[in-house]
């Protein structure tokens, strides 16, 4: 009996799925994380697919009648806040609750956010819903990957395949969400679409509630517990921050029309603070300091990339609504279905890219070169809008947008998968979490800028917008390409 208990504890500590192959050759516990992440992405992208048009459609059309500039700014600020919240989610997991518990509670918060969007009226539902979904999504995003990692013992050869399966769940949810919510929105109204997002999250949460007990004990470990004596201080700081935000909102400092600017400023301050803390630390070696400096140009290029890529949810939504010919044989495709095109390409091409980098091995491009090419390709994607610029309403062929989004996806696969990988390799051992936070801050900054930039988009005069942003992205990519040797020198052996 004692021997069995010891064996059970041993398996639990190193990952319960060591010998379990019931989920496509992977531990069965992966099915529960796969499910909750798939439904979270279903609800997240399903809601985001109809969010912008919900804000700027007139009240008669079931929307809120918010002007487009303010609406796109809110979408950008919301997206940036999701990535800002990953830092909070990671901190709570590391210091207070552990990754698995934060994942579970975050999924519950997300569901409440979608319910608020579905049932609360007007801007009250919008505000409460977006805050809850942003905070919950950040917490889940920060911890789901960590929980997957606990399923495998060190050296388990199934680890990469398990993460690939997990990534498939993400993209299946991202594909299906806009399809379902878009159909319900166009057929029955926006709140039906938001309701579907809430139901999807509830389904994932229900399955996960039953399956979470099968996860290894290591998924619930708190790596660096916060001393009980510091709880009052942290709670006080959290309350003070909340009071400050409420006060700034009541006094008109934070307004819907400047929300994206506020998030950009907060993110910039946080990023600069992180860089200063790491670089000025006496606990890192000259080699570590050089690597952090080598990460700085990648950080800046990543901001530029995401500020264009994330316009799928701002400018491209308006473009799909007003410029795109969505009629197929007398039937009009919902606006949000355009957001399901990218996940299809990601599912198809991610395996192709993985096989390509594996085949090239040490001959594959270095990370700075990949970042350069990804940003240049992203700039080209914006220039591809020009042949149809300033056209009549609903004049752009659907096939053109499919082709442009294919280029978006190719650009993404040059930057997104290598991004977090190189960040962890460049991170000083003592500042591993902070470097990951910096990576997410670059996405937060880019996403917020995407919302801010959308104010300059004029459907009646599109040429300057697509031309200027396209060539700026190409110039950023070329600049990094020209600086590859000094950047690699700073990275000290990391490619």
**DSSP per residue over 284-344, as a string?**
S-HHHHHHHHHHHHHHHHHHHHHHHHGGGGTHHHHHHHHTB--EETTEEPPGGGGGGHHHH
Q: Which of these, 270, 272, 311, 268, lies nearest to 473 by C-alpha position?
A: 311
The residue assigned the tokens 């002007």 is 67
Q: How far is CA 452 from CA 308, 314, 489, in A?
A: 11, 10, 35
Four-residue CA torsion sign, 7, 12, 17, 18:
negative
pLDDT of residue 6: 36
pLDDT of residue 380: 95
The residue assigned the tokens 């379902």 is 180
Tens-level pLDDT at each residue, the chain (495 residues): 444 443 333 334 444 445 666 676 777 878 888 888 888 888 888 888 888 888 888 888 888 888 888 888 888 888 888 888 888 888 888 788 888 888 899 999 999 999 999 888 788 888 888 899 999 988 888 787 778 777 777 667 676 667 777 777 888 888 998 999 999 998 898 889 999 999 999 998 898 888 888 888 878 888 778 888 888 888 898 899 888 888 887 777 777 778 788 889 888 888 888 888 888 888 888 888 888 888 889 999 999 999 999 998 888 988 888 888 888 888 888 888 988 898 999 888 877 877 777 777 777 788 889 899 999 999 999 999 999 988 888 888 999 999 999 999 999 888 887 777 777 778 777 777 677 778 888 988 998 999 889 888 888 888 999 999 999 999 999 999 898 888 888 877 677
Residue 394: exposure state from Cβ atoms within 10 A (0-12, 13-18, ≥19)? middle
Q: How far apart are the first and last CA of the chain?
A: 51
The residue assigned the tokens 């980098």 is 357
Question: Does this model's pTM top 0.85?
Answer: no
Q: Identify the bridge partners of residue 332 per DSSP, sorted by sequence position.
A: 327
Q: How far apart are CA 142 and CA 152, in angstroms?
A: 18
Q: Which of these, 208, 217, 490, lies nearest to 366 by C-alpha position?
A: 490
Q: Identify the bridge partners of residue 327 per DSSP, sorted by sequence position.
A: 332
Q: How far is CA 366 from CA 182, 201, 493, in A?
A: 40, 39, 11
Give start and end residues of each alpha helix (H) in 212-285. 231-250, 259-279
């Amino acid at each position: 009996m004692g021997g069995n208990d010891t064996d059970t504890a041993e398996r639990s500590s190193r990952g319960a799925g060591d010998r379990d192959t019931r989920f496509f050759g992977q531990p069965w516990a992966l099915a529960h994380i796969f499910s909750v992440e798939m439904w979270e992405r279903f609800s997240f992208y399903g809601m985001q697919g109809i969010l912008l048009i919900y804000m700027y459609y007139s009240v008669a059309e079931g929307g809120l009648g918010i002007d487009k500039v303010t609406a796109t700014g809110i979408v950008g600020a919301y997206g940036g806040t999701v990535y800002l919240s990953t830092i909070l989610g990671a901190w709570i997991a590391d210091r207070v609750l552990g990754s698995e518990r934060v994942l579970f509670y975050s999924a519950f918060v997300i569901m409440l956010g979608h319910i608020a969007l579905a049932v609360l009226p007007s801007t009250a539902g919008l505000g409460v819903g977006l805050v809850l979904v942003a905070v919950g999504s950040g917490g889940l995003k920060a911890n789901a990957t960590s929980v997957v990692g606990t399923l495998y013992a060190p050296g388990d050869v199934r680890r990469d395949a398990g993460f690939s399966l997990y990534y498939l769940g993400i993209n299946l949810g991202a594909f299906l969400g806009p399809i379902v919510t878009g159909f319900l929105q166009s057929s029955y109204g926006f709140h039906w679409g938001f309701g579907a997002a809430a139901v999807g999250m509830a389904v994932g949460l229900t399955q996960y509630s039953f399956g979470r007990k099968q996860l290894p004990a290591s998924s619930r470990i708190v790596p660096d517990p916060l001393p009980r004596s510091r709880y009052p201080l942290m709670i006080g700081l959290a309350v003070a921050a909340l009071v400050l935000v409420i006060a700034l909102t009541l006094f008109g400092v934070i307004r819907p029309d400047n929300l994206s600017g506020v998030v950009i400023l907060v993110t910039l301050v946080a990023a600069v603070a992180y860089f200063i803390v790491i670089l000025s630390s006496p606990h890192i070696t000259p080699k570590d300091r050089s690597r952090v400096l080598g990460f700085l140009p990648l950080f800046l290029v990543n901001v530029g990339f995401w500020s264009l890529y994330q316009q799928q949810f701002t400018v491209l939504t308006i473009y799909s609504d007003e410029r795109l010919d969505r009629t197929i044989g007398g039937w009009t495709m919902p606006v949000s279905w355009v957001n399901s095109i990218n996940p299809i390409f990601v599912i198809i091409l991610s395996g192709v890219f993985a096989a390509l980098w594996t085949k090239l091995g040490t001959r594959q491009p270095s990370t700075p070169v990949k970042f350069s090419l990804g940003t240049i390709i992203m700039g080209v994607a914006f220039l591809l809008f020009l042949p149809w610029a300033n056209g009549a309403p609903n004049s752009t062929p659907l096939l053109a947008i499919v082709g442009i989004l294919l280029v978006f996806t190719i650009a993404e696969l040059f930057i997104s998968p290598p991004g977090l990988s190189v960040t962890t390799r460049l991170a000083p051992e003592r500042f591993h979490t902070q470097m990951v936070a910096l990576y997410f801050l670059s996405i937060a900054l880019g996403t917020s800028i995407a919302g801010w930039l959308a104010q300059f988009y004029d459907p009646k005069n599109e040429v300057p917008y697509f031309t200027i942003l396209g060539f700026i992205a190409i110039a950023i990519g070329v600049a990094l390409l020209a600086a590859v040797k000094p950047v690699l020198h700073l990275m000290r052996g990391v490619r």
